[in-house]
Amino acid sequence: MRVLWVTEHHPPSKGGMAESCDRIVRGLREAGVAVDVAHLTRRDRPSQTAWRAERVHGGRLLTAPLGEDPEHSLRRLWTAITAERLAYTHVVGFGGTYAMLAAPVLAALLDAPLVTLLRGNDIDIGAFSLRRRGPLVDALRASSRVCVVASSHAPLVRALVPDAAVTFVANSVDTGHWRVLPSERERGAAWRAGHVAEGRRTVGVIGQLKNKKGVGFFLDALVRSGHAERFHLVLVGEVEEQVKAWLAEGPVAHSFLPFLERYELPAVYAACDLAALPSFYDGMPNVSLEAAALGVPLLASDAGGLGDVADDRIGFVFPAGDADACREAIDRAARASDADLAKLGAAGAERVRSVFTPAAETAGYLKVLDDVAR
């Protein structure tokens, strides 16, 4: 197999989608699939604004800056692809409006089947977006297979394209490398000793904290639960100004940390008793798997892929958007003993270690590529 992989999310871009893209591509390459990545980058650093093609282990990387004229860039991409004169067995569109716009056309020109990999916002927001819906529906109709990271996204796909062939493939964490080192545990304990009052439980709220993440909703539920004094929130990443203003009024003890690279996070997780993911809607956040893999119980909604990861055996789960249920979950978390939390954390770590593995993720995508080729 040789796959042309079209994406707006790939290193050196940052964020969970870029991490997922890199992980999936590496898994396929290690399994023997040649993957050529066309990275439609919006980065503005000089080193990332020049067109270039380079050989990498297991394929090629074509950096295609979208710049101020994305239509020109996408057409130039086709010129760059034809110059290589390579035969592709598949075209994959991975997340982002321009990737979904380009991938069906490239698949048709190359006479190769299209596989569309949807992340959370692609379908959650795309289905209701004037700008995104057209390219989304066109891509779904053109796809031989649509892959989703949340089983609950399949009905959304079929609501737009009833005969779409949809496959659920979960995200993963490599627990062989994702762990807390003794030095990181010491840093986490030192930070906690210097910032968190004795007797309070530390709750990590980690990632790109956009509207969909439900941070304000969670804060309101926390105060109304009557347990605000039991917790200290650690908000890691970009936080809405409205949330900052609300917290500045002082009802909830909290700390802010800037956006951190993935491998800076284990020390943060080591300082946390719980990880909160109160999303209104979502894909399968890397944070949910990362926290659970490190033995941190989840205080989470069942939105999107969170419903495939979390239940009351590894944390405290509530229906997305249900304020009463969220308060009840907070109440259960406040009343749980340290032994209860340790048991939930151990169960979460075992679930990730046995179910959400890179091997299972790669096998899922290999099966899709094989089925589509047949």
CATH at 297: 3.40.50.2000
Q: Considering the domain boundaries, does residue 87 fall inside one?
A: yes
pLDDT tens for each residue of the chain, 374 residues long: 999 999 999 998 888 899 999 999 999 999 999 999 999 998 655 455 689 899 999 999 999 999 889 999 999 999 999 998 889 999 999 988 999 999 999 999 999 999 999 998 899 999 999 999 999 999 999 999 999 999 999 999 999 999 999 999 999 999 999 999 999 999 999 999 999 999 999 999 998 777 889 999 999 999 999 999 999 999 998 888 888 888 888 789 999 998 888 889 999 999 999 999 999 999 999 999 999 999 999 999 999 999 999 999 999 999 999 999 999 999 999 999 999 999 999 999 999 999 999 999 999 999 999 999 98
Residue 7 and residue 137 in one domain: yes
Residue 15 and residue 140 in one domain: yes
Contacts of 128 (CB under 8 A, 6+ apart): none
E strands present in 8-82? 34-41, 52-56, 59-65
| Confidence (pLDDT) at 48 | 52
Q: Considering the domain boundaries, does residue 277 fall inside one?
A: yes
Residue 254 and residue 118 in one domain: no
Residue of 263, 305, 314, 288 lying closest to 206 (CA atoms): 288
CB 316 within 8 A of CB 299: yes
Q: What is the DSSP letter of 305?
A: T
Residue 90 and residue 212 in one domain: no
> Which residue segment(s) compose the domain that 324 sits in?
182-354
CB 283 within 8 A of CB 120: yes
Q: Considering the domain boundaries, does residue 177 fall inside one?
A: no
Cα 249 to its chain centre, rounded Å, is 31
- What is the value of pTM for the model shown? 0.93
Residue 148 and residue 247 in one domain: no
CB 84 within 8 A of CB 2: no
Residue of 58, 68, 49 lying closest to 30 (CA atoms): 58
Q: Tell me the C-alpha distance between 11 and 8, whole Å.
A: 10
Half-sphere exposure of 200 (CA within 13 A, CB side): 22
Q: Considering the domain boundaries, does residue 72 fall inside one?
A: yes
Residue written as token pair 């949910």: 288
Residue 190 and residue 231 in one domain: yes
**Sheet of strand 166-168, all strands in order from the earlier edge strand to the far edge:** 52-56, 59-65, 34-41, 2-7, 90-94, 114-118, 145-148, 166-168
Residue 28 and residue 130 in one domain: yes
